[in-house]
């Protein structure tokens, strides 16, 4: 059974590119473009991996990450966080909140594919 990946990102073209790339790797892709209500989406889809943008409308990626880590059901969900804010303090804050991999935009396609496989393997 194909592993599933949920992308929470508000840039539609990034979602399209990632979806194309990761489907070619044999993964099942879903996406959602708002911070609000995404826990319900996660609960419905039950993904094996979450690709999460840090800056989202309404609720930030950091707040979502904290909620995930504090939840009983998804606390172990692997999270790959994407952000245009590449400052050291942002990375540290994300690591403190329990991110698995932190990637800054722009990134290379091979890099994100490699990181997705790494997280799914674990």
Partner 1 sequence: MSRSLIGTRIRERRRTRKVTQTALAAQVGISASYLNLIEHNRRGIAGKTLLSLAKALDLNPRDLTEGADLGLVNRVREASARNRTIPTELERLEEFIGRFPGFARLIERLFDQQQAQDQNLQALSDKVSNDPFFAEAIHLMLSNITTIRSTADILKNTTNIPEQIASKFLSNLLEESERLSQTASDILDHFEPSNPKLEHINEENTPETYLEKNKFFLEELENAEITPEQLAASIGLNNEDEQDLAIKAFEKYQTMAEALPISQFLKEAAKLRYNPLKLAEQFQTDLPTTLERLAHMPDEDHLPKFGILECDGSGSVLYRKQLPTLSLPKYSSACPLWPLYRSMSQPMQPICALFDMPTGERFLSYSIATFAEHGSFNMPGRLKATMLFTQDYQKILGKNTIASLPHLSVGLQCSVCPRNKCEARRSTYILG
Q: Which residues within the stretch 64-93 sit at the binding site for partner 1 (CB under 8 A)?
A: 84-85
Asked if residue 61 lies in contact with residue 68, where contact means CB atoms within 8 angstroms, the answer is no
Alpha-helix runs per DSSP H in 1-122: 12-23, 38-45, 61-70, 88-96, 109-121
CA angle centred on 4, ends 15 and 25, rounded to 5°: 70
Residue of 11, 28, 66, 90 interacting with partner 1 (CB under 8 A): 11
Contacts to partner 1 from residues 25-54, by CB under 8 A? none
Which residue of 1, 26, 108, 122 would you call a contact of partner 1, by CB under 8 A?
A: 108
Q: Which is nearer to partner 1, 60 or 71 (CB)?
A: 60
Whether the Cβ atoms of residue 48 and residue 6 lie closer than 8 Å to each other: no
Phi-psi region of 58 (alpha: psi -120 to 50; beta: other; left: phi over 0): left
According to the binding rule CB under 8 A, does residue 13 interact with partner 1? Answer: yes
- Work out which of 2, 17, 46, 63 binds partner 1, going by CB under 8 A: 17
Can residue 2 be called a binding residue for partner 1 (CB under 8 A)?
A: no
19 or 71: CB nearest partner 1: 19
Least spacing, CB of residue 24 vs partner 1, in Å: 8
Does 57 contact partner 1 by CB under 8 A?
no
Q: Which residues, listed in sequence order, are joined to residue 53 by a DSSP beta bridge?
A: 82
């Amino acid at each position: 059974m194909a592993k599933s990946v949920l992308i929470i990102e508000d840039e539609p073209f990034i979602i399209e590119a990632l979806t194309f790339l990761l489907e070619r790797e044999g993964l099942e892709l879903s996406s959602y473009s708002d911070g609000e209500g995404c826990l319900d989406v996660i609960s419905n889809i039950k993904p094996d991996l979450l690709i999460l943008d840090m800056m989202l409308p309404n609720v930030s990626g950091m707040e979502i990450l904290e909620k995930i880590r504090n939840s009983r059901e998804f606390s172990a969900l692997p999270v790959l966080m994407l952000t245009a804010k590449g400052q050291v303090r942002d990375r540290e804050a994300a690591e403190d909140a329990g991110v698995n991999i932190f990637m800054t935009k722009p990134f290379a396609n091979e890099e994100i594919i490699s990181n997705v496989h790494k997280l799914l393997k674990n």
